[in-house]
Structure 1
Amino acid sequence: MITMRVGFDEVDIQDDLRVTHQGVPFTGEVVEHAPDGRIVALTTYFDGMEDGPYAEWYPTGEPKAAGTVRYGTAVGVHESWHRDGGLAGRDEFDDAGRLLRRLRWAADGTVIDDRDKT
Structure 2
Amino acid sequence: MRVEFDDVDTEDDLHVVYQGEPFTGEVVERAPNGQIVALTTYFNGMEDGPSAEWYPSGEPKAAGAVRYGTAVGVHEFWHRDGGLAGRDEFDDSGRLLRRLRWAVDGTVVEDYSAT
TM-score range normalised by the length of the shorter chain: over 0.9
Report 1:1-118 matches (<5 A).
Answer: 4-118=1-115
State the alpha-carbon separation in 2 of the partners of residues 15 and 53 from structure 1.
22
Structure 1: gaps of 5 or more residues = none
Q: Give RMSD over aligned pairs.
A: 0.6
Question: C-alpha separation between the residues in 1 aligned to 2:68 and 2:46?
Answer: 6
Moved more, 9-18 or 49-58: 9-18
The TM-score, its normalising length taken from structure 1, stands at: 0.96
CA distance in 2, matches of 1:65, 1:74: 13
- The one-letter code matched in structure 1 to 2:5 is F
Question: Under a length normalisation based on structure 2, what TM-score does the superposition of the two structures give?
Answer: 0.98
SS of corresponding position for 1:84 = coil
* CA–CA distance in structure 1, aligned partners of residues 78 and 112 of structure 2: 18
Shift of 1:16: 4.4
- 1:15 Cα deviation from its structure 2 partner: 1.3
Q: Percent identity?
A: 80
